[in-house]
A and B are shown apart, each in its own frame.
Chain A
Amino acid sequence: MSDHIVKAFDEELQTLKNMLARMGGLAEEELARAIDAISRRDGALADQVIASDAQVDALEREVEERAILVIARRQPMASDLREIMVAIRVSSDLERIGDFAKNIAKRTHAVSEDYPRRVMTGITRMGSLALEQLKDVLDAYVQHNEAKALEVWRKDEELDALYNSIFRELLTYMMEDPRTIGLCTHLLFAAKNIERIGDHCTNIAENVYYLVHGHPLTAERPKGDVTSITPMVTPEK
């Protein structure tokens, strides 16, 4: 896209983009480390992750402030206006993603006792899938690549399916051995958090679509998460 006549406007938009890229990088790293911490039950790493979330939060506030300033100063129109609105929304999504990662890290301490290793593989796989989604959607955002964004948007189904299977699996564990209920509940929450991160990634993908096309993505997203409607099966004694 050609440059604005007012160069300062371009610079302001670029700064905003740079901040979001940094924020995306931080969120990505935070998520990766949180998954790593919980899968390896590394309490120290978890603490680092918890501490780093403050940075993401601060960046979100800054993005919001700057975006408001740009609106006040430049009265952006059309694509510029969308750019800024999307930046605010994406930053808020990233902040939520950071929060979820922090929450996952927090649970590391709770799950540090002995637990079936098999259970962890599901979480790790979900984590890496979510990480991949986040990475892709951030790329799509930076490149204004709506095809890539749509891909992420569709792929969320996989994450949902994975979450479904983990949900059932953990349910089975809890039914088999009621002593694992505490542990499994934590893991269930962690899995849910990852699933939510995936949802935020689709949000970002939708925003990328809006950014490029100027109208919201109205099609119904394929939903893979059926846990909310999965009947609670009471094991037969």
Chain B
Amino acid sequence: MDTKPTLITPANPAIMQARPVKVRARHVNVFYGDKHAINDLSIDIPDRAVSAFIGPSGCGKSTFLRCINRMNDTIPTARVEGAITVDEQDIYDRSLDVVQLRANIGMVFQKPNPFPKSIYENVAYGPRIHGLAATKADLEGIVEKSLRRAGLWDEVKDRLQSPGTGLSGGQQQRLCIARAIAVDPEVILMDEPCSALDPIATARIEELIDELKQNYCIVIVTHSMQQAARVSQLTAFFHLGNLVEAGDTDVIFTNPQDRRTQDYITGRFG
């Protein structure tokens, strides 16, 4: 495996110098049946920072996100080539257990999707199936910690047994984040986490993402360039299955090098 990503702009993003590489992808190709969804993608994703994937619909950004926790495995026709490592461990290695991997890489989805169970059960589910809590008190501790981290504790502490689906959209999404961090992952993948939320709820989630980046490697796919600019340190622009450009967010949004990036972020795509 070569050590240089194929295209990183500028040659050495500041964020990559400040942080270790958490996720490394080299020459990744993804096919859905005959469709070539991602074409020879190589990128480094920094730890303890937010990386944003932007690009028009169908550009492969979500597809790549789902490669990182092997969610594409659930699609029978999907085929992934190339190498993706998390902490230098090849996640497509045969010896690696996909369940283990997903416990290590949390995911938050576009639409808030709490389980149709109580708030408590939503958060406790992950730790329970992974045996992370020895006692009931442990589990309660994990639930409280996760909800606190997700900034939801104060709002729900009096109604942990009420249904998770009864919360507002923004609260549901934070519940999903709490659920993701309850299993103590190292990477959190977010697939357009705010697209179904109003601006206030969006701001809350963004604030939360900003806090979480102290401890996690966060990768967020977003359609809102403003959001990418606000929350991320590294931005990657995808187009037609290609990674066009990746670099410090500050640079990408003020002075992108590639014409396609420029056209996309200034709203010129034809």
Contact = CB atoms under 8 A, between A and B. Distances in A.
B263 interface: yes
B55 to A, nearest CB: 14
A4 B267 CA distance: 6
Nearest to B257: A214
Interface string B240-270: 0000000000000111100001110111111
A79 interface: yes
Contacts, number: 42
A104 B245 CA distance: 51
Contact of A78 (B226, B255, B269, B270): B255
A145 B261 CA distance: 22
B265 A77 contact: yes
A4 B266 CA distance: 7
A78 B253 contact: yes
B208 interface: no
B201 interface: no
> Which of B254, B261, B267 has its CB near the most chain A CB atoms (within 10 A)?
B267
A172 to B, nearest CB: 50
B268 A81 contact: no
B255 A2 contact: no
A6 B267 CA distance: 8
B226 A80 contact: no
Contacts of B254: 77-78, 81-82, 214
Contacts of B268: 1-5
B255 A76 contact: no
A79 B257 CA distance: 11
A77 B226 CA distance: 9
The secondary-structure label for the interface of chain B is: helix
Interface in B139-165: none
B167 interface: no
The secondary-structure label for the interface of chain A is: loop
A81 B266 CA distance: 9
B229 interface: yes
B267 A78 contact: no
A76 B261 CA distance: 14
Nearest to B255: A214
B101 interface: no
Contacts of A213: 255
Given A2-B268, A4-B267, A5-B267, A79 B262 contact: yes
Interface in A187-218: 213-215
Contact of B253 (A6, A74, A77): A77
A9 interface: yes
A131 B225 CA distance: 42
Interface string B182-223: 000000000000000000000000000000000000000000
Nearest to A10: B268
B262 A9 contact: no
A82 to B, nearest CB: 7
A103 to B, nearest CB: 36
Given A77-B225, A78-B253, A81-B254, A5 B269 contact: yes
A207 B238 CA distance: 30
B255 A77 contact: no
A77 B267 CA distance: 9
Nearest to A3: B268
Interface string A69-95: 000001111111110000000000000
A5 B256 CA distance: 19
B229 A2 contact: no
A3 B263 CA distance: 9
23 contacts: A2-B270, A3-B268, A4-B267, A4-B268, A5-B267, A5-B268, A5-B270, A6-B267, A74-B267, A75-B226, A76-B266, A77-B225, A77-B229, A77-B254, A77-B266, A78-B253, A78-B255, A78-B262, A78-B265, A79-B266, A80-B266, A82-B254, A213-B255
Interface of A: 1-6, 9, 74-82, 213-215
The 8 closest A-B pairs by CB, nearest first: A214-B255, A77-B265, A80-B266, A2-B268, A4-B267, A77-B266, A5-B267, A77-B253
